[in-house]
Structure 1
Amino acid sequence: MTFSPGRYQVSRREASEPPTGGSGGRRPRVMIIYASAGAGHDGASRELARRLRERGLRADCVDLADIFPWGLGRLLRGTYHGMLSRLPWIYGLLFSIGGNFSRAAPITRALLRPVWPRVLRMLPPDTRAVVSTYPVVSQIVGPLRREGRLAVPVITYLTDFAVNPIWVSPGIDVHCAAHDTTRAEARALGAGEVRVAGRLVSAGFRPGAEEDKRNARERLGLPLDARLALLVAGSWGVGAVARTAAEIARTGEAVPVVVCGRNTALYRRLKRKRVGHVFGWVDDMPELLRAADVLVENAGGLTALEAMACGLPVATYRPIPGHGRANAGTMTRAGVATWVRRSADLGPTLVRLADGAEGQRQRAAGLALFDADPAAVVADVARGVEAASSARKPVPIDDPALVESPVVVSAEVTTGLDAVPPRRTLTRWVGLRASMARKRIGADEPGADGGSHPANRPDRQG
């Protein structure tokens, strides 16, 4: 895979690669649907795909913006970016409505229903599992699964620590959560199977020794003996970044090192003000994290996770409205970050995290998030479906034997899928699928349900 901002692309080599492993056996395919709304969802999807390939599976990533028709996805992405950058209070209001209005999720699912056929058409015939790394995606694939239009398991990887109701959708087989605190929030919102399954960051993010810190500072031109507070605000550089950098400098306890991401206007403004050390887009983020003593962030996004993987304590300060404030609360309760709520507390908190016992406890809690691997959960589910598919005899979807004996077929399909909760087993969905097929045959309307793509036929072998 070659990555470019906003989209994953399949290289020619991978596009022509046969769906077999070294032993000649078929490799299950996993489809990952993400949204290019900041680097967090992109990065998690890319890393999950890489780990699945290491485990011998095929993995493809699709941007939701490319599924929406008429350029609507890119328009929505631009609107979201604009709200965060210029009118964050509007985004906070919409987020609050989504979290407190009980009909928000059902309305979202209804509005997304026209996208169903496009999602079904983009799934290759050999798909064995679908992974969502974005809440809106879950509101599409969950209902498809619940209604029997999607015959393979659906997994939601919760990229955020905090769980908004839009993250939870009926029909999702398994939710992968960061922490027990996240799991409890998801369960309270009605999620079925929720597993604490670790976090996804690139292998380059790992703790370093004091020598690594010194070498990194020398290469980056940073002070060797000062306490450095690395300030990040996502790939878009949104929030009160300039104000936060000035406040860190005024504490006298740390030197701010600011990463502006792709926000060139912010970069130029901070360079003019000469507040600390300023970077634009950083290609070697692991080295910069190893050079720092503490991370200051405002959204609970991917960089916060990367810092935790490097053993760097995390402080959340002036979080952006919406998911930023929600993540700040959940991460603090989980013990993996500290939410600094007052400017007067900023300096003392930076000292405690960089040099004190509080920072040591937080480092340990953050590193523990990476003991498990979400790719293991996804691979187990996909391989279970592949094993069941290989073990059974292929039967055409319109074969009368399938229509008359759905229970027998569904029993074969569910082989090896102990990860799926009983009330959402493949038996239920394949039975429903067969019932729908019976209705179509009786009405002489083949394909009326719009789910005729081979990827959605439970009888289809890879």
Structure 2
Amino acid sequence: MPPGRVAIVSASVGAGHDGAATELERRLVADGLAVDRHDLLDLLPAGLGRAVREGYHRMLVRAPWAYQRIYSSTERARGGGAAARALLRAAEDRVLAVLRPGTGAVVSTYPGASRVLGNLRLAGRLTAPVLTYLTDFSVHPLWVADGVDVHLAAHAVPAAQARAAGARDVRVCGPVADPRFRPCEERERNRARARFGLPYDAPLALLVAGSWGVGPVRQVARELRDCGAAVPVVVCGRNEALAGQLRADGIEHVYGWVSDMPGLMHAADVLVQNAGGLTSLEAFGAGLPVASYRCIPGHGLTNAAALDEAGLGVWIRDLADLKGVLCDLVHGPLGVRQREAGLALFAQSSNGGPAAEIARVHRAGPPALTSHPVAWRRTRPRRLVVTTAVAGAVWACAVGTGVATTCDGPALLRAVGHGLVLDRHASAHGHAAGGHHS
């Protein structure tokens, strides 16, 4: 008998969604399941996936205020706008086409993928159960899509937020992280410091800002250095320009893309982060206390609040508190409590964690839908005029709403340098002037 088959749909927006998908895949394969991986951005029409990725990146770098407005407005509206819905509808056939026969469960690690899969499930076009693995510690309402059968949460705090957003079957099953992220003894810590050329006798603060190196990283690195609580060790991801700027600022220990993050965490005494994504979960697994400081807008702020509420990551809101909190995390009882809380989070995975829960749902087959399937008929997608890459910036806050309803559109276009136009007139009359059409 061939092995059971699971599909995972993620999105290459940053590294966190794909990182969670990779670890889920590894565990599911180890459990004897066949796994197919798909990137939602590759399944958007007319090459829009690249625009989504680049536009989102540009927005975080050039116009973070706009991202905050989009994030807040979609949170209040509990969903995306017309442009987002049109893009997602255009992806439905493509997503369905890549799911192989015999797929017994489909897992999303990205809000946009959850919406596409949920719509297919509600329409009766997808019979396999759909699960969403919540990669963020805070749960924006866009994470909770009608039609998704099960939501998997790492902790009770995101689980409660998912239920408040309307999710029915929410299961707390612990986080996923590469098993190399584990506590280490002093001898291994010293070897890691030697390998990275780091001082043996100084407390080290590992400063991370995601795979793109976004946020006020230079300011934070200087503040860490100047407060004297710990020596900053900065990971810039793929942002080579940032690495050069930090070296010019006199920051001694600066790295670009690091393939051995477990080793670097073993060398450090505390993690300072600004987004609250997968790296924070990895730090918990490594027994490293976590501080959130000068967080990026949107999910960076809400993740910091959720981690603080859970007692897993202290949120430093003021420069005046930076030195005292870091010293307590490195040497004091606050650090002891945070290490214990982080390791206890992984103890929740003793029953197999999210991958085992996915396997159980796969074996059980599709549960009854909570609402009746809607009648489906093929309709011509609304035509999108993509003038530039804010096609992604507007949508990539996990399928957001339109520029005009969330912020000052002209200011956004000036700041980001790209834009999305949903041509309603062309949609109605079957023509559009210029751009690329879906």
| Alignment TM-score, normalising by the size of structure 2 | 0.83
CA distance in 2 between partners of 1:166 and 1:361 (Å): 32
Runs of 4+ more than 6 Å apart:
none
RMSD value over aligned CA atoms?
1.8
Residue 361 of structure 1 and its aligned partner are, at CA, apart by: 1.1
Query: Are 1:376 and 2:352 counterparts?
Result: no
1:307 to 283, 296, 299: 283
Equivalent pairs: percent with the same residue? 53
1:153 to 129, 135, 139: 129
- Contact 1:108 / 1:139 at 8 angstroms: preserved in 2? no
Q: Structure 2: which amino acid aligns with 1:214?
A: N
- In the alignment, which residue of structure 2 is the partner of 1:78? 54
The DSSP-based 3-state class of the residue aligned with 1:369 is: helix
Cα pair distance change 1:165/1:107, threshold 3 Å = farther
2:314 to 308, 315, 338: 338
Cα pair distance change 1:102/1:156, threshold 3 Å = closer
- Contact 1:109 / 1:140 at 8 angstroms: preserved in 2? no
- In the alignment, which residue of structure 2 is the partner of 1:132? 108
CA distance in 2 between partners of 1:197 and 1:146 (Å): 25
2:38 to 62, 83, 107: 62
Query: Are 1:350 and 2:321 counterparts?
Result: no
1:288 to 245, 259, 264: 264
- In the alignment, which residue of structure 2 is the partner of 1:205? 181
CA distance in 2 between partners of 1:105 and 1:329 (Å): 26
CA distance in 1 between partners of 2:309 and 2:82 (Å): 29
Q: Structure 2: which amino acid aligns with 1:326?
A: T
- Contact 2:147 / 2:369 at 8 angstroms: preserved in 1? no
CA distance in 1 between partners of 2:79 and 2:7 (Å): 29
CA distance in 1 between partners of 2:170 and 2:84 (Å): 22
Query: Are 1:35 and 2:45 counterparts?
Result: no
- In the alignment, which residue of structure 2 is the partner of 1:389? none
- In the alignment, which residue of structure 2 is the partner of 1:182? 158
2:337 to 361, 375, 393: 361
- Contact 2:79 / 2:142 at 8 angstroms: preserved in 1? no
Q: Deviations over 1:133-171 (max 9, x none)?
A: 001111111121122111010000000000001101111
Residue 252 of structure 1 and its aligned partner are, at CA, apart by: 1.0
Q: Structure 1: which amino acid aligns with 2:360?
A: D
Residue 111 of structure 1 and its aligned partner are, at CA, apart by: 4.5
Residue 383 of structure 1 and its aligned partner are, at CA, apart by: 2.2
Q: Deviations over 1:233-261 (max 9, x none)?
A: 00100000010000001111111000111
- Contact 1:89 / 1:321 at 8 angstroms: preserved in 2? yes
Q: Structure 1: which amino acid aligns with 2:46?
A: W
Q: Deviations over 1:38-76 (max 9, x none)?
A: 110011001101100000000111011110111101111
The DSSP-based 3-state class of the residue aligned with 1:278 is: strand
The DSSP-based 3-state class of the residue aligned with 2:88 is: helix
CA distance in 2 between partners of 1:108 and 1:448 (Å): 20
- In the alignment, which residue of structure 2 is the partner of 1:88? 64
Higher Rg = 1
2:294 to 307, 318, 321: 318
CA distance in 1 between partners of 2:291 and 2:328 (Å): 11
- In the alignment, which residue of structure 2 is the partner of 1:244? 220
Q: Structure 2: which amino acid aligns with 1:129?
A: A
- Contact 2:6 / 2:107 at 8 angstroms: preserved in 1? yes
CA distance in 1 between partners of 2:136 and 2:339 (Å): 19
| Alignment coverage as a number of residue pairs | 375
CA distance in 2 between partners of 1:320 and 1:364 (Å): 27
CA distance in 1 between partners of 2:252 and 2:318 (Å): 21
- Contact 2:287 / 2:343 at 8 angstroms: preserved in 1? yes
Q: Structure 2: which amino acid aligns with 1:384?
A: A
The DSSP-based 3-state class of the residue aligned with 1:304 is: helix
Cα pair distance change 1:145/1:107, threshold 3 Å = farther
- Contact 1:294 / 1:354 at 8 angstroms: preserved in 2? yes
Query: Are 1:162 and 2:138 counterparts?
Result: yes
Q: Equivalences for 1:217-296 in 2 at 5 Å?
A: 217-296=193-272
CA distance in 2 between partners of 1:369 and 1:49 (Å): 21
Q: Structure 1: which amino acid aligns with 2:356?
A: A
Residue 114 of structure 1 and its aligned partner are, at CA, apart by: 2.3
Residue 105 of structure 1 and its aligned partner are, at CA, apart by: 6.8
Q: Structure 2: which amino acid aligns with 1:252?
A: G
The DSSP-based 3-state class of the residue aligned with 1:370 is: helix
The DSSP-based 3-state class of the residue aligned with 2:262 is: helix
- In the alignment, which residue of structure 1 is the partner of 2:407? none
- Contact 1:109 / 1:139 at 8 angstroms: preserved in 2? no
Q: Structure 2: which amino acid aligns with 1:282?
A: V
CA distance in 2 between partners of 1:105 and 1:323 (Å): 19
Q: Structure 2: which amino acid aligns with 1:345?
A: D
Q: Relative CO higher for 1 or 2, CA cutoff 8 Å, sep ≥ 6?
A: 2
- Contact 1:105 / 1:165 at 8 angstroms: preserved in 2? no
- Contact 1:336 / 1:365 at 8 angstroms: preserved in 2? yes
